[in-house]
Structure 1
């Protein structure tokens, strides 16, 4: 096989490949066996038609596309490896020559991982983060625990208040006409959660059980449904139930209920210790992010749009997975947030570009510093994952290898080494 790589644009090049005649012959043989098993030729059983009779009846050209499909994937993969390039998108393939008795020639227009021109990345000054814990922070943590352990009490009388859990029916109308997606029955809404469009929840406050009300709100200008964006609407709302949080007292009994400690003072001391540990980790993460951002800002790299688009898709999948764990679907999220998929992806794009840029720069730093990932590094990471997922390390290695993830794991470990190097080389601002 011959392969020639030539750049034609910043991150795009042309890969010219030629496969020898022998491989073409072998591919045509495989294609014939595949096709002959399916065709019906009078006088012959399926799969038993002689090659000469098949070609006389259908023409050898009828095998070309199947033969190309057999040859192309491995030929492209081998050519990419031979050229030493890293594609980041599907290639645009143009077959130039394919025929019996000839070589197979094709060209592939390929978008590749961009080159990074590193700037200053050693000795970067980053601010030291504060890891001390204040009394106010301890009290805020106690308040969050109060909310978490609050008892929901059914309210029989009196108006709904901010913070209440309400059960409501609602139906939306625009110019007196019901609109799609604007109706819900016995919907649970926490007032003050910001789940509905601005102004809705505030107007539920004050309603009594079985009371009905017309709520007037205006959809955001960027609402995903163009026919409603920026439009004033009326929701007819009926309140069915109110549940209110009954917060437990912050005393020794509370400490006994939520921890292994007998007194609130002991529990507060433990909280302070854990908060300090958490803040220290957050401070370290902030230092890492700051030094990575500086190194990335100092570098020059032109990122192909497809890499950003792919990262946005990954972020969208992660987001969908997280909200599903909370009992919500993307469709419901779009309905209640006033967004659509395009708007959500638009919000994610800047962060996606930053992630791609940072990762490319970290990979370049690892290469510049000749960082390597040893087998011991991989073994250590597999041992960590083994503890995390409670599965044998060798089983995880087999799974990673079978699915092609071992190289991804190695690349991730290499990037982590680059991050550690940047932090060690940095200095306090």
Structure 2
């Protein structure tokens, strides 16, 4: 097989491929073996038609598309490897020649990973991080713990307030017609969480257990469902139960319940240490991020739109997985927030482009610095993962290999080593004082 690559503009080029005639013949054989199973010809059992009779009746050309479908992906993959290019999008393929007894020729327009020209990447300056825990931050953390350990108590007589959890039935309709996703029974809604259509939760506030009410709202103009966007809706709501958070007292008993300490003073001292450690980790991550951002800004790179789109899809998928872990999904989130999937993707686009840029630049720095990952480092990473998931190293390796993630492990280690090198060679400087007015 012959393959040549010619760049035509920026990150776009043409891959010209010629596959030998004997491989074309093998692909036609494979196509025949697939098609003949479905063919019935008088005098022959189904699937047993001889090749010459099949070709005489249907023509050899009837096998071409199936043969191309078999051969093209295989030949394209080999050509990519042979020419040492890195496609980042599906190719635009044009068949030049395919016939029995002849070679198979095709051209593929391919968008490839862009070239990166590094600027200054050693000695970049980033603002110094000040790490301290204020009394106010300690108080806020204690209040968060109070909220987390609050008890939900059933409210019998009082009216619903913001912050209460209302157990409700709702039945939504537009112009008297129910719409999909507008009905639920015994749904737990935290009032004031702004998870429902604007105005819905406000109208539940003030209701008592057992009350019913028609809640009137208007769907946002940019609502993800075009049939509902901008429409007025009526939800028949019934309140089954109200629950209210009762915060525990901040005293020694609270400290005993939530920690290993006997007194609130001891717990607060330990909590301050935890907050300080958390801030140190955040400062470390912030410095790494700032250094990478600065190095990426100094580089010259023309990012293909296909790479940004791909990263956006990865981000949407990750977001959906996080929602599912919380008992929700992407469709529900879009419905409650009044957004479309396109709105969400547009919001993610800037971050996606930044991620792509940063990763490409880090990859180039790793090449420039000859950063390599040893087998010992891979083994250490596998051991850490095995300890974290309480599985054997062999199990972790097998899982990663089976789902195709093992190669990513080496890339992740290389990425961390590259970032560590950049941080080690960066400088923390005091931010300039604000100019007097």
* Equivalence for 1:122: 122
CA contact (8 A) 2:153 2:246 kept: yes
Moved more, 107-116 or 50-59: 50-59
Q: Distance in 2 between matches of 1:153 and 1:403?
A: 46
Query: What SS class does the counterpart of residue 32 from structure 2 fall into?
Result: helix
**Shift of residue 416 of structure 1?**
1.8
* Equivalence for 2:311: 311
* Equivalence for 1:288: 288
**Shift of residue 418 of structure 1?**
1.7
Query: What SS class does the counterpart of residue 301 from structure 2 fall into?
Result: coil
**Shift of residue 104 of structure 1?**
1.2
Per-residue CA shift, 1:8-30, capped at 9, x if unaligned? Answer: 22211110001122222333333
* Equivalence for 2:31: 31
Q: For 1:255-294, what aligned pairs fall within 5 Å after superposition?
A: 255-294=255-294
Query: What SS class does the counterpart of residue 343 from structure 2 fall into?
Result: helix
Q: Distance in 1 between matches of 2:155 and 2:53?
A: 86
Q: Distance in 2 between matches of 1:274 and 1:310?
A: 38
Give the direction of change, closer, same or farther, for the CA distance of 1:421–1:47 in structure 2 (3 Å limit). same
* Equivalence for 1:153: 153
Give the direction of change, closer, same or farther, for the CA distance of 1:204–1:411 in structure 2 (3 Å limit). same
Give the direction of change, closer, same or farther, for the CA distance of 1:33–1:216 in structure 2 (3 Å limit). closer
Structure 1 gaps of 5+ residues are: none
**Shift of residue 194 of structure 1?**
1.8
Q: For 1:338-377, what aligned pairs fall within 5 Å after superposition?
A: 338-377=338-377
* Equivalence for 1:191: 191
Q: For 1:65-76, what aligned pairs fall within 5 Å after superposition?
A: 65-76=65-76
Q: Distance in 1 between matches of 2:349 and 2:319?
A: 14
Count of matched residue positions in the alignment of Structure 1 and Structure 2 = 429
* Equivalence for 1:379: 379
Give the direction of change, closer, same or farther, for the CA distance of 1:23–1:262 in structure 2 (3 Å limit). same
**Shift of residue 240 of structure 1?**
3.1
* Equivalence for 1:108: 108
Give the direction of change, closer, same or farther, for the CA distance of 1:286–1:38 in structure 2 (3 Å limit). same
Q: Distance in 2 between matches of 1:350 and 1:387?
A: 36
* Equivalence for 2:6: 6
Q: For 1:129-208, what aligned pairs fall within 5 Å after superposition?
A: 129-171=129-171, 181-208=181-208
1:406 aligns with 2:406: yes
* Equivalence for 2:244: 244
Q: Distance in 1 between matches of 2:173 and 2:84?
A: 61
* Equivalence for 1:52: 52
Q: Distance in 2 between matches of 1:399 and 1:168?
A: 43
1:83 aligns with 2:75: no
Give the direction of change, closer, same or farther, for the CA distance of 1:249–1:65 in structure 2 (3 Å limit). same
**Shift of residue 77 of structure 1?**
0.8
Moved more, 29-38 or 119-128: 29-38
Give the direction of change, closer, same or farther, for the CA distance of 1:58–1:171 in structure 2 (3 Å limit). closer
**Shift of residue 396 of structure 1?**
2.5
Give the direction of change, closer, same or farther, for the CA distance of 1:238–1:394 in structure 2 (3 Å limit). closer
* Equivalence for 2:416: 416
Give the direction of change, closer, same or farther, for the CA distance of 1:239–1:363 in structure 2 (3 Å limit). same
Q: Distance in 2 between matches of 1:173 and 1:40?
A: 55
**Shift of residue 70 of structure 1?**
2.6
* Equivalence for 2:321: 321
Query: What SS class does the counterpart of residue 8 from structure 1 fall into?
Result: strand
Query: What SS class does the counterpart of residue 154 from structure 1 fall into?
Result: strand
Q: Distance in 1 between matches of 2:342 and 2:19?
A: 43
CA RMSD of aligned residues (A): 2.5
Give the direction of change, closer, same or farther, for the CA distance of 1:63–1:141 in structure 2 (3 Å limit). same
CA contact (8 A) 2:223 2:335 kept: no
